[in-house]
Amino acid sequence: MPIEVNGKAFETDEEGYLANINDWEPGVAEVMSKEDDLELTDEHWDIINFLREYYEEYQIAPAVRVLTKAVGKKMGKDKGNSKYLYGLFPYGPAKQACRYAGLPKPTGCV
Amino acid sequence: MAKADFQVPELKEYAEIPEIKPGVMAHSKPFKSKPDFQEALGFPGELVEDWQKKAINKMGDLLGRYRSLRVYMDACVKCGACTDKCHYYLGTHDPKNMPVARQDLLRKVYRRYFTLAGRLFPDLVGATDLTEDVLGDWYNYYHQCSQCRRCSVFCPYGIDTAEISMAAREIMDSIGVGQKYCNEIIGKVYKIGNNLGLPGPALADTLEGLEEDVFDETGVEVKYPLDQEGVDILLITPSADFFAEPHVDGLIGYGKVFHEAGVSWTLSSYASEAANFGMFIGSYDNMRRVSMRIREAAIKLGVKRIVFGECGHAWRVAYSFLNTLVGPWDFLDPRYPVPQHICEFTYDLIQQGKLRLDKSRNDDMVLTYHDSCNVARASRMGDKPGGQFDIPRAIIRASCNHFYDMDEETIRDRTFCCGGGGGLLTDDLMEVRVKGAQPRVEALNHVIQEKGVTHMAAICAICKSQFTKVLPYYGMDMGQIVSVHQLVSNALILTGQETEEEEAVEAAA
């Protein structure tokens, strides 16, 4: 089911993840979050950008602990935990933040 | 948390056997596997043209290869003992989720093509042709079975629905009808080495982070080595242990235990997965191919022992099948079990008094223990019957002051599945996962109410992820599920680690 961003169609899979990560542009996250009734703040964008940087280097989303640690380092220790991430992305960092960032869904026993 | 677009079952004071609601879960089915995922596993990409004939041939092939399957097809006397034993029936109320009904979906086709009475008088013996509708029912209802084998405990003939559901999935894969979740994941193991698709550099980065964290916490340099040759132990653990919570807290625990034991060990980036979804899809070939990576890694790294981390079905494959799948393991040290479970390893050290455990460090929790189905009903630990029940509990009791078991009817070999096993741990099956978790969550709720239990420990990656996701649907917190080795990790005082009390004494002096 494709989504429309700034007049362009983007292919997604059955679960709403972008079919091709290279297609991604910030508007994708905006459109997806609007569908979830979520307004993206700078805090959200910090996470989305980190996910994309990490993916570029390692070809996978960061482990939860890697992510919380990076967030803690950057934004203060009180924010370096999953509670903070779930506060930003109620559907979970993997399901929601990865999707907005254009990353494929983490698979396996997670 | 995701909002439920279905009715979440109510938790009752006493377990109730529900009235049947025919067809209520007929709509539930997982996403179909794409041709790419199918072909990587050696299956046709999409539904083959003469699929009926090919499916019947495949069924005949399986009946010839597995005597057990033919016995299961023939032996049922419809006594009804299994009907109220499946968590998916109890949670969904759909009569096709009664084990006998699930078996009958395959049995009625078996009778039509493989028994004389069914060939001649199909209507008299409940035999039917393999039609598109029947295939649809197979796909939907064999993906509402977590192959947990609880029903087989109560069946007077020992009919194993798990094996029937595995056979059904194998038949469907052979005609091009596969499940996306399992088959995409098995492909990732072949391509990258684990279910998640974590490449070596990401593993190395994650493990380095863990070493930093443990050092910050304890002041002791505990190592989490990757691809180190010539060490004693190869640790095979589910890739969720690297990635998710509370799994990673368990992995931290294994590392601390190895450190205290003074053994050398390593993880492998090539065999960075304990899980073996080849079993879920009933495919011997794929199960063997996944297992072969472990053998290859063990030989390449030159290890003497193999230890498995907290993963339920991996332990079934390891304990019950590894030797016949990819043995012999004559190159390993014969003084140790091949393979060994991390719980056996830790338990031995506790018995020998080699771990200094301060139980009070877990005093913020009151624990219960969830027996994972594949560990409970398809394997063993230690050298005594029931070791798979007693050893994890002994570890918890050695690490925590407060522990209570759930109702006897729902633990040990009668344990209820978490609701996400057998290849169902995917979002497209969330309804069946939440409903199937009801019997377990109901028993958990009991000890929460009666005993003040706050947390439930488990030794299976699937159970941990499943409860993290489904507990919030029942008004509980995702953090209430913990790893057994997380409790060990909390309680363990490492040699050379300064405890807060000691620091306080020193500061005062």
What CA–CA distance (Å, rounded) separates B376 from B447? Answer: 20
Residues B23-63 have pLDDT tens digits of 999 999 999 999 999 999 999 999 999 999 999 999 999 99
Nearest alpha carbon to residue B445 among B85, B150, B9: B9
CB contact under 8 A, A65 and B196: no
Residues B316-339 have pLDDT tens digits of 999 999 999 999 999 999 999 999
CA distance A96 to chain B (A): 10
Q: Which of B180, B243, B313 to mutate to test the interface with A (most CBs of A within 10 A)?
A: B243
Least confident residue range of A91-105, B2-16, B243-257: B2-16
For the sheet with B233-236, list strands across it.
Answer: B265-266, B233-236, B305-308, B340-341
Mean pLDDT of chain B: 97
As for the ipTM of the complex, it is 0.95
What CA–CA distance (Å, rounded) separates A41 from B240? Answer: 30
Nearest alpha carbon to residue B125 among B109, B137, B136: B109
CA distance A72 to chain B (A): 13
Residues B110-161 have pLDDT tens digits of 999 999 999 999 999 999 999 999 999 999 999 999 999 999 999 999 999 9
Q: What is the mean pLDDT of residues B164-188?
A: 98
CA distance B483 to chain A (A): 14
Main-chain phi, psi angles of B488, to 5 degrees: -60, -45
Q: Which of A60, A107, A109 sits opposite B202 (nearest CB)?
A: A60
Q: Is the dihedral of CA A100, B424, A81, A38 positive or negative?
A: positive
Residues B405-416 have pLDDT tens digits of 999 999 999 999
What CA–CA distance (Å, rounded) separates B195 from B177? Answer: 21
Q: What is the mean pLDDT of residues B71-97?
A: 98
Check whether A95 has a pLDDT greater than 90.
Answer: no
From chain A residues 38-97, the ones with a CB under 8 A of any chain B CB are 57-60, 62-66, 69, 82, 90-91, 95
Active site residue A98: no
Domain ranges of chain B: 35-178, 186-491
Residues B334-362 have pLDDT tens digits of 999 999 999 999 999 999 999 999 999 99
Main-chain phi, psi angles of B455, to 5 degrees: -140, 150
Q: Which CATH architecture has domain B35-178?
A: Orthogonal Bundle (1.10)
Least confident residue range of B293-302, B312-321, B335-344, B500-509: B500-509
Check whether B226 has a pLDDT greater than 90.
Answer: yes
Check whether B507 has a pLDDT greater than 90.
Answer: no
Q: What pLDDT does residue B2 have?
A: 55
Q: Of A86-90, A93-97, B129-133, give the range with the top mean pLDDT.
A: B129-133
What CA–CA distance (Å, rounded) separates B347 from B341? Answer: 10
pLDDT category at B3 given cuts 50, 70, 90 is low
CB contact under 8 A, B238 and A64: no
Domains and CATH numbers, chain A: 3-35 (3.30.1420.10), 42-100 (1.10.10.370)
CB contact under 8 A, A69 and B311: no
